[in-house]
Structures are given as structure tokens and as C-alpha cells.
Structure 1
Amino acid sequence: MQLRYFAWVRERIGRDAETVEVPDTVATVGALIDWLSARDEAYAGAFAERDAIKVALDQEHVDHEAPLNGAREAAFFPPMTGG
């Protein structure tokens, strides 16, 4: 799965994208966040404000309970503001 990180999520992890093999036991967006958070301190820090993290699977916004269902891309970003 291709993972993309934006704004402070990217800054905390130290990269803007990567490709990972997600274990079969990771079935939802929330489980993916848990799995990533357990990788190391940078990921744990990036996802520490878990409720603030927005997610898109294959460019469609989803909530943390959404199933991965073979998605090819997940993007993680904090809420955006603008004017």
C-alpha cells in the first residue's frame, strides 16, 4: 500500500510517502494507524493526536472505522484551514 503524509504528519515522520506491506490482520483505517504508531517513536508522535488525523483511501475521505478493502493508497493529514 502506498502511504502519503501531509503537513505536520509528514514533518513528524520525516517523509512524505512510502510503500508498505500491510499485515492481513490490519483491516481498518484505525488498525492501520495503530500498526503505524507501533513502528517507532516518529510514527507514534505523528499519530499521537489520532482524533485530529484525517484519512483518505484511494482519494476518498473516510473515517477511522472504514475497512481498508484492498485500498492501494492511504493519505494522512491534519484538518486544513484556509481563508
Structure 2
Amino acid sequence: MSEATLKDALTRLGHAMVALEDAVSSRIEREGDYVEAEAEVQRMNADRARLAGELDKSEARAERLEDANKEVSRRLVTAMETIRAVLDR
């Protein structure tokens, strides 16, 4: 093998090593981005679960308040009817 051929082979090997290092760096960066995105998705899922729980509690409270409102309204109607009956006598 001639010296020129050896130099060409070493140059190509050097270029190939640089390309490989660039590819590895790029892959590591993409995987880092993936890990960060996965962590963000997990945080969002935890927030969603927490918000869903709070929504369920709020809906249950709203139902209880609606039931209480209906009971108060029923009692007011009964009280008004009783007062009318007394006034009519």
C-alpha cells in the first residue's frame, strides 16, 4: 500500500469518526429530549388526575347544595301555605 493511499484511508477514517461522533451526539440529544418530554407527560397526567379528583368533589358538593336548595324551597312553600291558612281563618 502506498503512502498516499494510506493517508487517504486515514483521512476517510477520520471523517468517518467525526460523522460517527456527530451521530452519537445527536442521538444522545434526541434521547434527552425524549426523557424530558416523557417527564412532562407524567407531570401533566398527575395534574389531570388531581384536577379530575377536584372536579368530582366539586360536582358532588354542587349536587348536595342543589338538594339542600330544593329542601329549603320545599320548606318555604310549606311555611307560606301554613301562614296563608292561618291568615285565612
Judge same fold: TM > 0.5, yes or no. Answer: no
Q: TM-score, normalised by structure 1?
A: 0.17
More helix by share: 2
More strand by share: 1
Find the structure with the greater CA-based Rg. 2
Q: TM-score, normalised by structure 2?
A: 0.16
Structure showing greater relative contact order (alpha-carbon pairs closer than 8 Å, 6 or more residues apart): 1
